[in-house]
Amino acid sequence: DLICTKEEGVSDMSNDLIELRKKLLLELEKLLPPPITLPERRLEHLVETVVSSQIDSCLYHNYPDAVSIYADHCCGQDQIPTETVQILTTHQNEVWFVQFSNNGEYLASSSSDCTAIIWQVLADGKCAIKHT
């Protein structure tokens, strides 16, 4: 009986039809050579690869915001800070290494005077000694 009087029957038929189409597509993918069919999620993989490549080659990339696929990614030089906010003078000799924590709340610095300092980044962007 192809005529359904209840909405559930129509819904069940459409779900069955969707499942049959999925099975048919999988069978066709097995039979057809790769140049004719694309692997599942291939387009998504290609787009992610291109976006990652653009970010990796962006000389001034400095923000974690989502990148749009509607235009090529490019951070401008004008987005790089050019003013000194604070000079950290606690080390007794030249600083060899600095690194921000992943969340940006801390800054670690090490110096040729054999000291390492953990700085806490305050809300105004300045740093205060957290641990030496």
Q: What pLDDT was estimated at residue 1? A: 44
Q: pLDDT means per 10 residues in the chain (132 residues)?
A: 53 79 86 80 91 88 78 84 86 93 92 94 86 80
Residue 114 tokens, joined? 């054999």
Backbone angles phi, psi at 130, to 5 degrees: -105, -40
Tell me whether residue 119 is exposed, middle or buried, using C-beta atoms within 10 angstroms of its C-beta: 0 to 12, 13 to 18, 19 or more. buried
Residue 29 tokens, joined? 């993918």
